[in-house]
Amino acid sequence: MPRDSYRFRNVWTVRARADRVFAALVDVEGYPAWWPDVRAVRRIDGDSGDVLVRAVLPVALWLRLKRADEDPVAGRMRVAISGDLEGYSRAHLTQDGDVTVVRIDQDVELCKRSLLPFESLLRPVLRANHGAMMWRGQRGLRRHLA
């Protein structure tokens, strides 16, 4: 894996039906209402949009998300990511009683020019920042669907 590549694996649990969780996750324009680190969303067309994210660090990332796969029956979705990060994010949802388990895999390369010279020093901090963002995303989604 190149030094500027990151692989993240997260598992969210949400006390809601899988169809409701899926609907919330594919509605990227709705993210700012429940995910505090998603600061802005600008729809480009039916399959893509620009998203501004900023977690704990005073560093914002502009990302272009493009739908690559969306299968509500299989509980599967995938988006291609470009901009300050390049790669993909995918999620797979399964129902476990009254809880939906969301497995999120992200494989990205850091492309933000202002961070690249410091990437090796910042790597642990960037990983922790991502962890905080994902934790707040899960918490926000739980509240949103409660």
Domain boundaries, position 47: 5-145
- pLDDT score, position 122: 95
Q: In the sheet where 61-71 sits, what is the strand order?
A: 5-14, 99-110, 85-96, 76-83, 61-71, 48-53, 38-45
pLDDT tens digits, 42-54: 999 999 999 999 9
CATH number of the structural domain spanning residue 119:
3.30.530.20
Q: Does the pLDDT at position 1 exceed 60?
A: no
pTM of the model as a whole: 0.94
C-alpha closest to that of 21 among 34, 32, 3: 34
The predicted model gives 50-64 an average pLDDT of 98
pLDDT tens digits, 79-131: 999 999 999 999 999 999 999 999 999 999 999 999 999 999 999 999 999 99
Reduced to 3 states (helix: H, G, I; strand: E, B; else coil), residue 14 is strand
Instruction: For residue 85, give both structure tokens.
Output: 């990060």
Domain count, the chain: 1
pLDDT band at 4 (very low <50, low <70, confident <90, very high): confident
